[in-house]
Chain A
Amino acid sequence: MSVLTHLQGFLKIQWGKMGPPLVPSEGECRITKGFIKKGRPRILILGSTPQFRDLAHSLGAQVTCIDMNLDMLTSMVELMKYSRKASQEAWIRANWLQAPLKENYWDYVMGDWVISNIPLKIQPLFFKKISLLLRPGGFFVTRHSLYSGNIITFLGAIDNFLNKKFDISHVVMPAAHLSFNPKTYLSETTECRRMAQNIINDLIKNASDKKLKIKYKEILKLIHYYLPSGMTWTYTPTEVLEKMWRPYFRLTKIAITQDHLLPAACPIYFLKKH
């Protein structure tokens, strides 16, 4: 039994409660797994996503995880089905772009919502870096987060939550896109939290039912819990990304699943290195 620090414990609890689309769904993992060839592939995981680590271990892969935050790598172990295999993983605490990793070596590089963590200007460099790491013919498999405002509004998501069609993860995603700027593709979480608060405060003000007011307050509390402040995410559209990856990769497949309610906002790209 492992012992975690307070921070690691918090991360574990917070991430443990998250569901799709905030984390990869079972269907998304199944599609990704089906794509990867067996036979101890070398898989580099960008970040600590427990679902992807489990997926890689279930294939008997040699797994390396790279994350800026070692607490994330450590705390996510407890959310893994194959937690015993974590001791066999190589872990690297470093920036994805600057890590001195072996080149032309990895069969697969995988990452969940990784592109949105990279500033728009640096995204072409990011694709270049990933292509350097992959062996010729290797694949970069990544689930991406697109702007969801075209699919569902924040208010629509709240309605669906109240009608028990959505869980909170489906509300947090549109909330994280509230400050989305279609020119820069940026969304700032501090601003998103403020906007969500204003919208919900208005809803509370106009609600006549006491129970409904309590529900709205609950939603706001959960949004604040899951949506950290001070972060900037870049929701680059597919057509813009295509221009960036074209020098290094060929898109072989885009996959979406139907086991969560915002699949169109979370495509999985399968990019083959030239």
Chain B
Amino acid sequence: MIKTTSGYHWLTVARRWSEIPAPMGPWPSEMKIYQKLAKKYLKGIKKPKILILGATPQMRDIAHAFRNAEVTCVDIDVNMLFAMSSLLKNPQNADSEIWVKSSWITVPLKENYYNLILGEAVLGNVPFMLWTKFLQHLQDVLRHNGYFVSRVVVTDLGNWHGKNLDEVFSYASEKKLNFIELYFLLFYRIFGSQKRKMSNLDMYKTIKKYYNKKKQRYVLENRYVEGLLNKIAKYLPASPFQWSNSPQAFSEKYLKRYFKIIAKEFGGGESQFSSAYHPIYLLKRK
């Protein structure tokens, strides 16, 4: 078994990651949008230079579909780069990639260099206070006519929040949501639709408090929801890491400072709840 410096088996990490469904990663319909946009805007470039934010295998597969592409992946955790490589359509493609273990905000890459940056739901990983620095840095490394394609997870989901947690669970049970969809719904129900820092730890605390107070037994009476909650606990443990998600208008305000929004597309079909709400932006460097 191959092990890494962090002391965990990266093949196990890869297996666990592959078991986590969309919307943690892109839905197939969203993948088609990424592919379409990348194909359209890299047309005619003989040796496209593509920067991948993170180690997401789907994004790396899109990049490797272009012959002669120079693919650079940046992740703060080198183990993720190793782990996710085994999930590539052709894992050998990882050998030709340039790997960078660094923060996205300080990564010392060449300026005005990349034709395309792909980042799957990356904005929410960056603390709000660093959004300006982050987007500025992406702008710097992009060529003047380069593009940044990214799905942005937003918090304004219309009526899907539900009035209370019971309603959220009823909805999840009725629509047979997967555990990540329920996770997203719980987040938005608990933290609201405003710009907020959200952590799994706070979410678990709120759920516990709610049920202790109301002495509700709903979850235990609904096997389906109980199963989903068990999976959330298994795959997304109570960590203090804070996601920085915001309403669409707030994210766009920041994106527009450094990029021109060329297109905004939504996936659809797989899930009424999530794919229709998180836009994939095609952004051109200003």
Q: Are B5 and A74 in contact (CB under 8 A)?
A: yes
Q: How far in angstroms is the closest Cβ of chain B from A199?
A: 38
Q: Is B101 an interface residue (CB 8 A)?
A: yes
Q: Which residues of A contact B110 (CB under 8 A)?
A: 100-103
Q: Are B72 and A100 in contact (CB under 8 A)?
A: yes
Q: Which residues of B contact A101 (CB under 8 A)?
A: 108-110
Q: Are A1 and B7 in contact (CB under 8 A)?
A: yes
Q: Which residues of A contact B100 (CB under 8 A)?
A: 90-93
A1-27 vs B, CB cutoff 8 Å, 1 = contact: the mask equals 111110010000000000000000000
**Whole-angstrom distance between the alpha carbons of A94 and B49 in the complex?**
14
**Whole-angstrom distance between the alpha carbons of A249 and B260 in the complex?**
41
Q: Are A100 and B101 in contact (CB under 8 A)?
A: no
A interface, how many residues as a size bin?
20 to 34
Q: Is A105 an interface residue (CB 8 A)?
A: yes
- Closest-by-CB residue of A relative to B113 is A100
- Closest-by-CB residue of A relative to B72 is A100
- Closest-by-CB residue of A relative to B103 is A90
Q: Are B5 and A102 in contact (CB under 8 A)?
A: no
Query: Which residue of A5, A92, A93, A103 is within 8 Å of B3 (Cβ)?
Result: A5
- Closest-by-CB residue of B relative to A44 is B108
B interface majority secondary structure: loop
- Given contacts A74-B78, A100-B109, A103-B111, A5 and B2 within 8 Å (CB-CB): yes
Q: How far in angstroms is the closest Cβ of chain A from B124?
A: 23
Q: Is A122 an interface residue (CB 8 A)?
A: no
Query: Considering residues B98, B106, B111, B113, which has the most beta carbons from chain A within 10 angstroms of its beta carbon?
Result: B98
Query: Which residue of A1, A2, A4, A90 is within 8 Å of B108 (Cβ)?
Result: A90
Q: Which residues of B contact A8 (CB under 8 A)?
A: 5
Q: Which residues of A contact B101 (CB under 8 A)?
A: 89-92
Q: How far in angstroms is the closest Cβ of chain B from A60?
A: 16
Q: Are B7 and A100 in contact (CB under 8 A)?
A: no
Q: Is B6 an interface residue (CB 8 A)?
A: yes
Q: Is A256 an interface residue (CB 8 A)?
A: no
- Given contacts A5-B2, A100-B113, A93 and B99 within 8 Å (CB-CB): yes
Q: Are A91 and B102 in contact (CB under 8 A)?
A: yes
In B85-140, which residues have CB < 8 Å from any A CB? 97-103, 106-111, 113-114
Q: Are B99 and A92 in contact (CB under 8 A)?
A: yes
**Whole-angstrom distance between the alpha carbons of A64 and B102 in the complex?**
9
In A58-113, which residues have CB < 8 Å from any B CB? 64, 70, 74, 77, 89-94, 99-103, 105
**Whole-angstrom distance between the alpha carbons of A94 and B7 in the complex?**
24
Q: Is B4 an interface residue (CB 8 A)?
A: yes
Q: Are A2 and B107 in contact (CB under 8 A)?
A: no
Q: Which residues of A contact B2 (CB under 8 A)?
A: 5
**Whole-angstrom distance between the alpha carbons of A127 and B8 in the complex?**
40
**Whole-angstrom distance between the alpha carbons of A2 and B4 in the complex?**
8
In B56-75, which residues have CB < 8 Å from any A CB? 70, 72
Q: Are A99 and B98 in contact (CB under 8 A)?
A: yes
**Whole-angstrom distance between the alpha carbons of A253 and B23 in the complex?**
58
**Whole-angstrom distance between the alpha carbons of A68 and B82 in the complex?**
15
- Given contacts A100-B113, A103-B111, A90 and B106 within 8 Å (CB-CB): yes
Query: Which residue of B82, B98, B103, B114 is within 8 Å of A92 (Cβ)?
Result: B98
**Whole-angstrom distance between the alpha carbons of A74 and B99 in the complex?**
13
Q: Are A3 and B4 in contact (CB under 8 A)?
A: yes
**Whole-angstrom distance between the alpha carbons of A5 and B5 in the complex?**
8
Q: Which residues of B contact A100 (CB under 8 A)?
A: 49, 70, 72, 98, 109-110, 113-114
**Whole-angstrom distance between the alpha carbons of A148 and B102 in the complex?**
39
Contact residues of B with A, CB < 8 Å? 2-8, 49, 70, 72, 78, 82, 97-103, 106-111, 113-114
Beyond A90-B100, A90-B103, list 4 extra A-B contacts (CB 8 Å).
A3-B4, A4-B5, A70-B82, A91-B102
10 A-B pairs within 8 Å (CB atoms) are namely A2-B7, A70-B99, A74-B5, A90-B100, A90-B106, A91-B78, A92-B102, A93-B97, A100-B49, A102-B111
Q: Which 6 A/B pairs are nearest by Cβ-Cβ distance?
A: A90-B102, A91-B101, A93-B99, A100-B110, A102-B108, A94-B98
